[in-house]
Amino acid sequence: MIRTSLIAVPKRGRVLAAKSLVFAVVTFVVGEVVSFAAFFVGQALIAGHAPHAALGDPGVARAVAGAGLYLTALAVLGVAAGTLLRHPAAAIAAMVAVLFVLPGIAQALPDSWRNPVTEFWPTQAGGQLTSVHHSAHTLQPWSGFGVMCLFVAIVYAIAWTLLDRRDV
């Protein structure tokens, strides 16, 4: 259907923006609902057997709400990757590499290289928003999420530009 959409709308950036916006809103709503539901169900299941957390505890509400924000940023990154690569399998492979493979490879680097790479790797930095306790060599939650959003914005801008130039 993307070819039909691009033929019908001469300004291809509008198509990309509209599709991205709809996908981002749906992902945000679903992500927040699932995140809060998982938190409350999880707290009910571990009640009496493990330490209890409440939304009022420091960092807990941010971490639970941050899960929906993080998923939304990943969704927009996925749209940008799909637009850049123009093949679903390639976009999925690229997202798996960005999310899982490259951070795993970074763990094999010497400490002097690994720490800055893992600290500023976009998905690792953005994931700090969903964490209550922070380990060494990680960014603070909001600054880490800012790094991720900057990365998503750059990839999205490249995708937008290529869509306008390449798919005429």
Query: Domain residue spans in the chain?
Result: 2-166
| Per-residue pLDDT at 78 | 94
**Residue corresponding to tokens 């690569």:** 85
| Per-residue pLDDT at 31 | 96
pLDDT bucket at 11, cuts 50 / 70 / 90? confident
* Global pTM value: 0.88
Distance CA 15, CA 8 (A): 10
Distance CA 36, CA 121 (A): 26
Beta strands in 26-142 (DSSP E): none
The pLDDT tens digits of the residues spanning 12-66 come to 888 899 999 999 999 999 999 999 999 999 988 888 877 888 888 888 999 999 9
Distance CA 60, CA 129 (A): 10
Distance CA 148, CA 58 (A): 23
| Per-residue pLDDT at 167 | 58
Distance CA 141, CA 130 (A): 8
